[in-house]
Structure 1
Amino acid sequence: MSLPHLKHPHGWLVAGMLGLSAIACTPISGLSPARLLASTAQADDQLGQDVGRQLQQAQAALASHHAAKALDFVNAADAVAGKSDYESYVIAQMRAAAASQAGNVPVALKAYETLIRNSRTTPATRQQLLMAQASLAYGARDYDAAAQAARRYLQEAGPSQQMQTLLLQCHYLQKDWKGVVEAGHAILAADQKAGQIPAENQLQMLATAYDQLHDSSGKTGTYVKLVKYHARPQYWQMLIHDLTADRSLTPRMVFNLQRLRLNTGLLTSPAEFQDMAERAVQMGLPQLALNLLDEGYARHLLGTGTEAAAQARFRAFVAQRATETRTALPAAVEQAKSSSEAGPSLTAGYNLVLNGQVDQGIALMQQGLTKHPHQPDLARLTLGMALMDGGHSAEAIKLLSSMDGDGTANNLAQLWAVQLSSHSTR
């Protein structure tokens, strides 16, 4: 028996789906009920008389908003013996529609799963159904089912900000911090592969999860991404505070952080200026120390008050060291070229940059990078700073932006790239 007006039953599922927005807590844009389920009927697909009669009554009950009664008719249709695959498929569609309208989430989810797994369902339709299934389960606080559906959707369809957020929320609301981190890593990798910017709310949840797990490195790395992609003053403040409090930083890392704080207007103490300059001298870069001290004088942070005389004596000492280093620089360059170690090339090259021989200095530092430095990320960060100090901001931004791995050196590089980029656009 053929029932023409039941040959395209997807409208029933659509009718049931109209109530989803009231059930789900997370709105899903792009989920158009009118095209949720394309017809899968083939030329020889027909509904038998017994199945068709029950489904006609279910359709009428749905139209009258009697969803529970519609489910009874669907169950009666399902009880018919000897059903064809097509009939079973249509029954699953109607059950999904009726259960969704009735708010019977377990039955609706099971019906969705039947449709999702059926070979008649096209890939595009399966993705829409997974999105609807995730939304329905989330609204019913069945976070495990919602997370499973969202994860499957992302695997099939690729990055979706709404499904990514829903997946993270499923773990977040259960305080499953390890789950948030695991899902967050996968989401960030997918975003990077697709060339998409990570969503701010997703990064916020990830940062909270790392904080709850007492993972300071992960938290810092996430705040770096928040600063990079969603720059707000509170993210800078949180990040600088956490980095400043990190007692595991090496002296060179501390120096670089001091320079970053100076560049962002957060280093204002005369004592910190002197400490920063002392570190530069210890690194074999007295000219850089002198430049920083002169900046302190220009800002009227040095040279005033009771410490002015002591500060002047320290500056004279640094100036003398800078002169000595400049005089010995040609010999240091030759020694660096013949050395198998990276350090001499990096230091001598940086001093060339600081003394006006920028191109020669950068070339020597690049040679140093080929000599397998003990801390390659820190060496690249140092080269980025030399490019900045030598006036090659665009090259510095390009290098520093490329350092997007884990670790403090890469975090600092990303922050410098953000800071330099913000200055270059002013």
Structure 2
Amino acid sequence: MAPSPLTISRAALMASAFGLAAFIAPHHAPFNGGGALVSTAYAEDALGQEVGGHLQQAQKALAAHKLSQAMEAVDAADAVKSKSSYEAYVIAQMRAAVAAQSGNAAAALKAYDVLINSARTPAASKKQMLMAQASMAYSARDYANAAKAAARYTHDYGADPQMQTLLVQCYYLQQDWKGTIAAVRGIIAADQKAKRPPAESQLQMMATAYGNLRDLPGQTNAYVQLVKYYPRTQYWQILIHNLVSDQSLSPRLVFNLQRLRLATGVLTNPSDFQDMAERAVQMGLPQLALNLLNEGYNRHLLGSGPAAASQEHFRSFVAQQAAKTRNDLPASVQEAGRTPTAGPSLTTGYNLILNGQVDQGLALIQQGQEKKPRFPDIAQLEKGMALIDAGRKTDAATLLDSMNGDGVVNDLAQLWAVYLHSAAAR
């Protein structure tokens, strides 16, 4: 998606030009009797009579808006041989002013380079010049020089919203996808620190950049941010499609994604309910499997048609497994306490919650997390799911929202948090 053009008014560019002309004045006395313009800032700096005469003509022509005559006078001053470094500097000042007013971006940008790189230019003026240079180059569609100036501005003077936006757009329009991503990430970090939402257009550009780099995890994370701050249906659809297409997901994450699809109304295939239930049984959570199957029956997606008999047979099997697990809970709790590994405590704690013993289950899950599970982020995600199943959705949203790092586990956690917040708002 192409970005909206950054609006740089001609008035702003004209102001920068007048600023340059004004910048000359405080540093120079009027022509003295000998025809030289003497600097009041540097006693040793003076304009020779020939250079000074041409520049005086340029100033008069500029004031009268006779821009071609002004540039001719500047060129004449520049053609003088054996100019001092000071004279070259003042010529660059006048050239920038005339070029900016006449719309000659190429000439103005070169003159700005001379001024910005000169030790004679005060820091405050360099800051203004860099911003004007970046804006002028962008308006001239010279995105490479615009990006260079904006990046230098950010490096030398810190973040500025206009310069950051311009930098992102320059990288994007040059199809510099890595530069686009880095620039947007810098803005997002600043936005998060300031507790404000990132701009939707910048997140869109980041998603496009990741897509062009064929970086599916990165693109997924960008759409997670879009769903989080701008929960539009199309973003959810793209995001779910990307996650389903991710062949690197572990079985437990596939199961979590299935549950998310169920919660958001995307999962409607009867076979998906059986697949979810089978995964839950394999995870040692048959009661959760039974709950999911019952949800399928409640939605009238199971229990009818030619597969109704086999579906009921499978539900009976799962119900038996759930009853056995429930009866074995006291022994499982004892065993989990004796086992140094995390798995038994995490699974048994979840089963306690599914069977109504929420506080005891959460305590056992906490013990399991303290035993350093192999995948601590997945354990935290599943604790959030346990809180959802316990009906403690506010606590679940808080926990899942805190998982804001990189990676698909954190992406799923953020999506669940978005879903819970939106459900609470309805």
Which residue of 1 is the match for residue 6 of structure 2? 26
Which residue of 2 is the match for residue 46 of structure 1? 29
Which residue of 2 is the match for residue 127 of structure 1? 127
Contact 1:25 1:135 (8 Å CA) reproduced: no
Which residue of 2 is the match for residue 19 of structure 1? none
Contact 1:161 1:199 (8 Å CA) reproduced: no
Which residue of 2 is the match for residue 171 of structure 1? 171
Percent identity of equivalent pairs: 59
Q: Report the AA paired with residue 46 of structure 1.
A: A
1:220 aligns with 2:220: yes
Determine helix, strand or coil for the equivalent of 2:29.
coil
Deviating more after overlay: 218-227 vs 71-80: 71-80
Report the CA distance between 1:65 and its aligned residue.
Answer: 2.9
Which residue of 2 is the match for residue 266 of structure 1? 266
After superposition, where does 1:310-321 map in structure 2 within 5 Å?
310-321=310-321
Report the CA distance between 1:90 and its aligned residue.
Answer: 5.6
Report the CA distance between 1:296 and its aligned residue.
Answer: 1.5
Q: How many residues get paired?
A: 402
Report the CA distance between 1:393 and its aligned residue.
Answer: 1.9
Determine helix, strand or coil for the equivalent of 2:414.
helix
Q: Distance in 1 between matches of 2:302 and 2:188?
A: 44
Report the CA distance between 1:419 and its aligned residue.
Answer: 0.8
Contact 1:31 1:128 (8 Å CA) reproduced: no
Q: Distance in 2 between matches of 1:82 and 1:284?
A: 85
Q: Distance in 1 between matches of 2:197 and 2:235?
A: 17
Q: Distance in 1 between matches of 2:124 and 2:361?
A: 56
Determine helix, strand or coil for the equivalent of 1:404.
coil
Q: Distance in 1 between matches of 2:157 and 2:329?
A: 59
1:103 aligns with 2:93: no
Distance of aligned partners of 1:45 and 1:367 in 2 relative to their CA distance in 1, 3 Å threshold? farther
Which residue of 1 is the match for residue 42 of structure 2? none
Q: Distance in 2 between matches of 1:285 and 1:336?
A: 15
Contact 1:28 1:162 (8 Å CA) reproduced: no
Which residue of 2 is the match for residue 4 of structure 1? none
Q: Distance in 1 between matches of 2:191 and 2:156?
A: 14
After superposition, where does 1:285-324 map in structure 2 within 5 Å?
285-324=285-324
1:235 aligns with 2:215: no
Name the TM-score, length of structure 1 as normaliser: 0.84
Which residue of 2 is the match for residue 62 of structure 1? 62
Determine helix, strand or coil for the equivalent of 1:46.
strand
How far does the alpha carbon of each residue in 1:231-258 deviate from its partner, in whole angstroms, 9 at most, with x for none?
2111110110111122221111111000
Q: Distance in 2 between matches of 1:32 and 1:395?
A: 53
Q: Distance in 2 between matches of 1:45 and 1:323?
A: 94
Contact 1:159 1:194 (8 Å CA) reproduced: no
Q: Report the AA paired with residue 361 of structure 2.
A: G
Q: Distance in 1 between matches of 2:12 and 2:357?
A: 61
Deviating more after overlay: 227-236 vs 330-339: 330-339
Contact 1:100 1:108 (8 Å CA) reproduced: yes
Distance of aligned partners of 1:312 and 1:173 in 2 relative to their CA distance in 1, 3 Å threshold? same
Contact 2:207 2:223 (8 Å CA) reproduced: yes
Report the CA distance between 1:81 and its aligned residue.
Answer: 7.7
Distance of aligned partners of 1:334 and 1:321 in 2 relative to their CA distance in 1, 3 Å threshold? same
Report the CA distance between 1:112 and its aligned residue.
Answer: 2.1
Q: Distance in 1 between matches of 2:119 and 2:423?
A: 56
Q: Distance in 2 between matches of 1:193 and 1:114?
A: 36
Q: Report the AA paired with residue 251 of structure 1.
A: P
Deviating more after overlay: 57-66 vs 333-342: 57-66
Q: Report the AA paired with residue 334 of structure 1.
A: Q
Q: Report the AA paired with residue 26 of structure 1.
A: L
Contact 1:50 1:80 (8 Å CA) reproduced: no
After superposition, where does 1:339-354 map in structure 2 within 5 Å?
339-354=339-354
Contact 2:340 2:371 (8 Å CA) reproduced: yes
